[in-house]
Structure formats: structure tokens, C-alpha cells
Amino acid sequence: MDSPRTLAGLGALLLAAALVSNPASAEPVEPVPGAHSTRDFGNGPERNEIAATTAEASAEAARAAPLGATPDSRWTPPRRGYPRRTELRVYPENPADKSIKLGLVPYHGIAPRLNALQAASDRVSAEVIGHSALGRDLYLVTVTAPESAAEAARQDRWRALIEDDPGAARRDKALVRGYKTPVWINANIHGDEWEGTDGALRVIERLAGATDPATRRLLERTRLYVTVTNNPDGRIAGTRANGAGFDINRDQATNSQPESRATRDVVIATQPFVMLDEHGYTGTTLIEPATPPHGQNYEYDLYIKHALPNAEGMEAAIQRLGHPETARADIPFRDFEPGDWDDWPPVFNPMYAIYQGAVGHTVEIPLAVNHGEYETLPVAELRRRAGVNTDVAAATIEAAIGYADEHRADLLADQIEQFRRGWAGAPSPEIPDGFVPGFGPEDRFSTRFPRAYVIPAGAAQRSPAAAARLVDHLVAGDVRVTRARHDFALAGRSYRAGSYVVDMHQPKRGLANALLEAGRDISALVPQMYDISGWSNRLLWGASVDVSATAAPRVATVAVTAASPTGAVAAARGRDLSLTMRDGADVRAVNALLDLGVELRRTDAATVVVPAGARREAEVVADRYGVRFTAAPRGSAGTAFTAPVIAAAVSADELFALREMGFDVRPVSTALLNAGAELSDADTLVVSSGLSYAQLNAVGKAEVDELLARGGVVTRGRTGAAFNAAAGLLPATAVTGRTDANGVVAVRNTGPVVGAGSLPYAFVFSPIWFTGTGFTVEQRYAAADPLIAGHWLPATPGAGGPEQAADQAAVISGVTARGGRAVMFGTEPLFRAHPKGLYAEFARALYWTAS
């Protein structure tokens, strides 16, 4: 019989599942000041120097959600005409909103303003498309001439036809004549870059109230879509990051945050010809297109032919403002050196939009009003600057609308052509020098698309849960995935029925390939990169994915709207159960069982045994997290363990990932420990950001020493290596690579803890390796050049490069001089919540050090 405690815990888990499925019901909460933010240029040293102080509320939301899932449903536009008047809920006035000081619209002022516009004008519609990390409404405003439900439905059919059958769309004279030009403006994605919101509101109000014939005709042939503030948490708090501490404009390849999922859904639903992402502040206005390297999966000829003249038109618009600060713009493609401001990774919103059929631009308004300027400049000067910035944002938006209207026919034809090439599997054309002014060999990036990817089912799949997560992510991004109805063979391999196929003859093949390809080592092509240079959902998300270069499978398939369930308890009743921790979903299931009071045992670092009496709880978590329990070998012994309490001095993304896996995490830092924070209930300490042993006072040092004497420690990065050296833990010397070196690397798994069942790949940013003796090498960089994709140059000639890292220890473990256990990572297994296939190795380190 189930004990009352077990039943209560099971009920709590089921209740938590119900709450997670409806996050919109949560009341918005105020963010805790001091959310972690990073500098605009990359994410290197600051990542190791700044402690995360993320709001507990947002982190708890991550802890409650199933790992890798999309907890809020995908937004799709309602099937009705325009206007679509929605009475937006009005938030209480918040005098602490940081935008007030600048004379800008506070977040609580946006809904009343939009409600008034909807009441006054039949051209304005406002909808809620999702919620921020802290639960605030995200708004989409559509400005267009009124449409009946039938007219709106026809626009929807035409939009679908452009993607689904571009040949028919090209031949449809009514579509060519009557399809409304879609333009999308995304504002305030970085919370402390405010004025894009205010400039967009100015444009909305002008279009809503203008009575001239030109505006009326413009709106009869155009739809303007505006996400008014993509980051209300950051707008209020005056932080770049959202309420979970994430830079949303680095999240589009992962979509870990609700704000990035909302913009993903908007770009898919609206299929814009042109989009702007309004940012700040660069001294002069900066308007993309960007420098090389250019994303090799773009149809770059279709992009740059519009992006450059559109940017120059926006430059002319800001010049007409007459401000001394707007006499010119920086257009990186035209004005910067390669690598200074590239468009290589799909993590940025405009770059992601390019793969969805848009001509995407980042716009950086000029005059800084954040950081030190916000605190030190007189209010009058801040408001003057904010006024100039608002003028610039409005001018660039107006110019982009004008360009899209003037070049409507060409933009439509080119979006059709992008999707046609995808369906046809056509090679991207060779772009000649001078195609646009300044285009040369340094701008020429392309790839050879494979014919198909296959995500196997059955025994060939390393992690069914990881495979399902990857499939759902692809489908949510409008990548077309099918499921095989029968067994089949392809490229010399046999596949089970139920295997997933990504046929690369599809309209958004560029996005599919950008997410699934291994990537490319671009170290020799440019001297530096703006942000990450390597990523791969195929190599880093934990699923087995095969590539077929030339052949597509000949098998009947069905379209996939969601991955098939993967959870199961495959053992006879009365048998103990076994779960192998290969994926973060497995870890989440283990922590859920521990939270329910189930007595678990570990037979090795990766294998957990569940007693037969807890089968019901195992069935619940198997269904919830998609994991598979099998029969444990009879007589399995193992070591009992409990849910560890983690004291963590970590970056915001690591805190999010740890809680996403279900760990009980207590944030700490040098300042908190020096102020008397206790570690008495912690089992292990994680150090990667914001904790310096050398800077601890007597109180803080005593607390840390006590934990190190009885518990464990896991470190990551330079801060972690410095902590190890200062505290005298493992006899390892950390060797550092160049701080901006990053990418996907090949590794060899050699140790019993972290290496057990880990992927043969890892991710690095500011890579580290370890020399010395007296520890176990858990993972080594590959013996040959370890860099698979990314940018990693030597720090100095012959030092700090991938050649020097080859065959060196990337992750080590051992018993410390104080008697506890330690694991040190030179890689980045939790970076921005992206390399989800590496989560389990970090979790195994936590369990081992805490035991």
C-alpha cells in the first residue's frame, strides 16, 4: 500500500504538472533588483566575474517545468478580421520603473495607451502573445486597414501558399496584386535599451490617426506588426536581461525563454518581408547588414540586395532629423572590418528572422542612457538623449515601412524564391563580386545542404527523451519533420518505424541546417567574432541524429506536429527499476523521485535503481519527463543517496539549467558569504561566477572551509579554477585559452563519473585544460585538432590554441586535500541552457561530490 507521504508527494507532482501547463494563470511579480547582465560584445570574461542574482520566482518556474519543454503554448493569430480589439489588463503604477526617469513610457503605461488607441482607431489591434519570465504580458500590435474575417482568411491562405507552394504563389495574380506587405518591428529586447518601444508607439499613433490619402492607401496594402516591448522585466528593472537573467537576443537557437518563444511564434505567424530589432547604444546609429562571416545557410543574395539599400534609406531618414548625433550611421557591411559585427549565428532575433523569410536588421540607436550614464548624468541630459534616440527609432521604422512598400513586388518575389529554392533543393547561387557595392570574396559563404537528417527510433537512439525534445524544437520553429510509418534503409543504415525524417527539400531548409549541421571552423577566416561561432542542436542536445548527404528515404511518412511520447516503465511488476542518466530529463526524473521521498540507489555514476514498490511514482515521472525505466538486474545493490542541496555561485544561465533539472539550489557569492550567509545545509558547492576564496573575510571563509571539509565542490571556468587554486583543493594547474575562443569541440570520455556515457562532444567558451597529477581525468580534448565548429585562435603564437589543448584534460575529478570530492570543468556544459545533452554529466558530478 502507498504511504500517505508518498501519495501526498505524488499528488503534489501532478498538481505541479497542471500548474506548469497553464503559466498564464500566474500573477506577475516584481523582479528582484540586480539581475545578471552581460556586456554587448560576446560573453567571455564577464561571465566568470559577475555573480548571478536572479529572482527566485523566475528560477522556481524553471525548476517546476519539464526539462527542455515549452511550458507555454505556441501563439497563433486568431481566425478573425481586423481590428481585433482586446481589452489589455492594466498593471498598477510602478514608480520604480526605470524608464520613468528618462521621460519614456513605463511598462504600466503601455496597456492603457494601447487600449485607448484601439478605442479611437479601427486600424489598431492589440493582442497578448505570451508572458515574460516574471509573468508580464507581451503585446503584439497590428496596424492595418480594416479587414473582414473573409479578407483576413484570404491573407492567411496566401501567406501559407507562399511557403507551402511557392510556384503556385508566383503564378497567383490575385496574390501578387493583393497580398499585404508584412513588416515586423521588435522593440526593447534588451530591457535597458528602452526607446525602441517609444519610437514604435509614435509610429503606431501616427498611422492610427493620420487622415491623408497616402497613409490610408499604405495601410490598405500593408500590415505593420509591432512587439512593443519584448522584455518588460528588463524594461522595468533597467537590465539588459530578462527576469531569469537571460539575454533574450542570444536565445533563438535554443528558445529557453518565453520571450524568445513569443518572437519565434510572431515571425512564423506573420512571415514578414522586413523586420527591425531596435537596440542601443553605439554612439552613432548602427544599422545592419553585418560584416562577414555571414551565415552559410542564408540565401544571402536575396537578403543583401534589400538589406543594404534599406539600411542606407534608414541612414538618410536619421540624417533628415537634423540632430548633430544623427549625421551618419554605421552600416557594418559597408563600414566595418570582417568579424567586427557579424551575422554568423542564428541566436540573434534578426538572423533567425532571415531563415524565416525576412530581411532582418539590428538597429542600434546612438546615445547611451543606461549603465553609468543612467546613474550619473543629469535628468535633463538623459531625457534629451532619450528624445534623440526615440526620434531615431521612429525614423528607422518609418523608413523601413517605406522601403517595404516601395519594393513590395521584389520582396514578395524574393521571399517566394527563398522558399522555392528550399523545396527544390536548389544550390545557393554563386554571388558575383560587386553584386551590391562592396560585396567581395570575404562575403562569400555558402554550404552544401544534405539531402536529409534522420533521428532514429528504437535501439539506435541514444536518448529518446532528447530526440523528442529536438523534434519538438524543430517543429516549433516551423521546420518540417515527418515520422516513418515502416522500417526503412538509408545510406547503408537500417531504421525502425517511428524514426523521424527531416527532408531538406523544404521551405525553411536554411533554419533546419543551421540547427542540425555540425558547423564550421572559421578561425582562419576572421580575426575575431562578435559572439558565439559554433553551436549544434544535433551534436549538443543529446539525441542520435544521422546525416544523409545525397539520398532521402523511400518510406511512407506522416507529418509531425509533436514528438511521440517516450516515457515508459518497461519491466515486469515486482522488479526493481533502472534509469540511466544520459540526459537532463533523466536527471529531472531522478530529482522528482527524490522529492517524492523514494529511496534510490546508484550502482555507478550514471545508473539509478528504483525500488519495485515505487513503480507508481516511476510511471508518473516517466510520463511527465519522457524517460524510460527498464528492469534492474536482480540483486542490484548500489549506494543510497538523497537529493543534494547545492550552494551555487554561478551565472544566470547555469542557475536556470540547474533548477530546470530539479536541483535545490541556493545562490551564494563572495558578498553574501561575507555578510553571513550560511552553508550548513548545503551538500556541495558550485563555483563558476562571483565567488573568490581570496576575497572572503573570516566569516565567509570559515563557512566555506566547513563545507569543503565535509562536502564537495564543482567548478567551472576561470573563476572556478582560481577558487580551486586559492582553496588548495586539487593539485591541478589550469591553462587558459583565448577568452573569446568558443565552439563545439570533440572530446574523449575517460573517467568513471563525468565521462560515464557522455557525448563525444562538448562546448567551450574561454576554454581551459588542466595539467598535473593527483587527479582523475574524466574527459580529454580530442587528440587531433579538437575544434569542430567555432572560432578559436591562439592567445599568443603557439599558446592557448586548440593545438595546445589537444589531448589535454578538459574535466577532472578527485579527492581534495581537505577530504571532500571535487570536479573541475574546463568546458561549458550549461552555457545559455543550450548544450542540453551535456546536462547529465554536470549532474553526475553534483551527485558524486555530494555523496
Which active-site residues does the annotation give? 364
Torsion sign, CA atoms 58, 60, 61, 62:
positive
Number of Cβ within 10 Å of residue 407's Cβ equals: 21
- In three state form, how does the secondary structure of 55-82 look? CHHHHHHHHHCCCCCCCCCCCCCCCCCE
| DSSP letters spanning 1-53 | ---HHHHHHHHHHHHHHHHHT-GGGSPP-PPPS------SS-SSHHHHHS---
Q: Which among 615, 847, 632 has a CA at the least distance from the CA of 10?
A: 615
| Cα of 629 vs its chain's centroid, Å | 30
d(CA 113, CA 690): 41
- Amino acid in position 533: S
User: In sequence order, what are the beta bridge partners of 638?
Assistant: none
Chain centroid to CA 612: how far? 39
Between CA 544 and CA 630 the distance in angstroms is 20
| CA dihedral of 310, 316, 321, 324, whole degrees rounded to 10 | 120
Other C-beta atoms within 10 Å of 440: how many? 12
Non-local CB neighbours of 182 within 8 Å, separated by 6+ positions: 159, 222, 223, 225, 270, 271, 272, 273
CB 838 within 8 A of CB 801: no
Q: 548, 542, 537, 547: which is closest to 566 by C-alpha?
A: 542
H helix runs in 477-573, sequence order:
509-516, 537-540
Do the strands 222-227 and 342-343 form a parallel or antiparallel pair, or are they unpaired?
Answer: unpaired
Closest CA to 715 of 602, 802, 800, 814: 814
Contact predicate 690/715, CB 8 Å: no
Strands (E) in 295-432, as ranges, are 329-330, 342-343, 359-365
Residue written as cell 551565472?
Answer: 651
Q: What cell numbers appear for 664 in the block?
A: 535545490
Q: Which helix (H) or strand (E) holds 780?
A: strand 776-781
Beta strands in 268-370 (DSSP E): 274-280, 285-287, 291-294, 329-330, 342-343, 359-365
Instruction: State the Cα–Cα distance between residues 668 and 689, nearest whole angstrom.
Output: 10
Cα distance between residue 792 and residue 803, in whole Å: 10
Residue 750: how many other CB atoms lie within 10 Å: 15
The span from the CA of 597 to the CA of 614, in Å, is 10
User: Is the Cβ–Cβ distance between 799 and 773 less than 8 Å?
Assistant: no
C-alpha cell at 255: 528558445
How much of the chain is in helix, strand and coil states, percent to nearest 5? Answer: 40, 20, 40
Q: By three-state DSSP, how is residue 732 classified?
A: strand
Name the nearest CA neighbour of 666 among 652, 682, 680, 653: 682
